[in-house]
Amino acid sequence: MTTSDLPRAVVGAACLAPWGERARDVPGAAPVDLTSVPGFVTSRFNPLVAAVAEQCLGAPGGDLIHGLGERTAIVLATACGDTTTSDLATRKLVAGQVHSPLLFFQSVTTSILGHLARQYGITGPVSCVSACEDLAGSALRLADLLLFDDELEQVLVIGVELAPNDRVTWVRDRLGAEHPLGRLPLGEDAAVALLLRRATRGRPAVPADPPHPAYGWLGQLVGLCTAAAHPDTSTTD
């Protein structure tokens, strides 16, 4: 059996696009304000990851996570990462200003996962993936590979992208291709979380053309959120 054959069940899902009225017809539309996370400053990247993970898993000790901390892995997928923190750190360095210890800590993309792991008692493997093409597929394939491990019961997959800032625009313009960093969400921050387990049969079908293009590459994960919300939709055998 290959990872593409492995039956996969979506047992928890959440998508968050804090776009207010502009996202009225997009799943996950939410207020712009995000709850701050202690120890993380300036950037919305880490609060966005925390918020979508908490919506997916529910409260610590809830049914989806209780007693499964040691058997839960996390996969974080992002094309550009926390560009707000990277850009601010670069500007401070160029200006000769003192580098903030908090910025140094949160410049590591997976630092927010340590916060989530402590909050939910998760001690399984933690991974971060990035790609210019098929990033959602790469994250799902890694999750499937992790589910081959008999010591793991479930994988939390989180996809997150901030609205492109000047740093991203500069890089994208110089790379020159039509979508050199993949298809990014349109104009605002977005995040999707899926809690995946092995299933006895079938797996949610992922549409070739994701139905929510405003999410960019995250649209494929949003499609799985939609499938989880409507379990009567088709599955692959």
**pLDDT (mean) for 51-77:** 95
Burial class (CB in 10 A: 0-12, 13-18, 19+), 172: middle
Count helices and strands (H / E) in the chain: 7, 7
Give residues with Cβ within 8 angstroms of 85, minimum separation 6: 42, 43, 45, 103, 106, 107
d(CA 76, CA 81): 10
Is 179 or 62 the better-scoring residue by pLDDT?
A: 62
More confident residue, 74 or 17: 74
Helix (H, G, I), strand (E, B) or coil at 220: helix
Q: Quick one: angle between helices 45-57 and 83-94, nearest 10?
A: 160
Round to whole Å and give the CA distance between 188 and 214. 9
Backbone torsions φ then ψ of 103, nearest 5 degrees: -65, -40
Token pair for 44: 């919305």
pLDDT range class, residue 133, cuts 50, 70, 90: confident
Domains of the chain: 8-231 (3.40.47.10)
DSSP state of 82: -
127: confidence class by pLDDT, cuts 50, 70, 90: very high
d(CA 44, CA 108): 14
pLDDT at 30 over 60: yes
The more confident residue out of 106 and 184 is 184
Hunting for tokens 């009567």 — which residue is that?
A: 232
Q: Which helix (H) or strand (E) holds 120?
A: helix 111-120
3-state secondary structure of 228: helix
Closest C-alpha to 155, from 224, 52, 56, 74:
74
Helix H or strand E encompassing 51: helix 45-57
Instruction: Give the chain's radius of gyration (CA, Å).
Output: 18
The first and second tokens of residue 86, run together, are 């990277």
Residue pair 154/216 in contact (Cβ under 8 Å)? The answer is: no
* Reported confidence tier of residue 131, pLDDT bands at 50, 70, 90: confident
Whole-angstrom distance, CA of residue 189 vs CA of residue 98 = 28
Tokens 């898993």, located at residue: 57
Whole-model pTM: value is 0.83
pLDDT mean over 214-235: 76
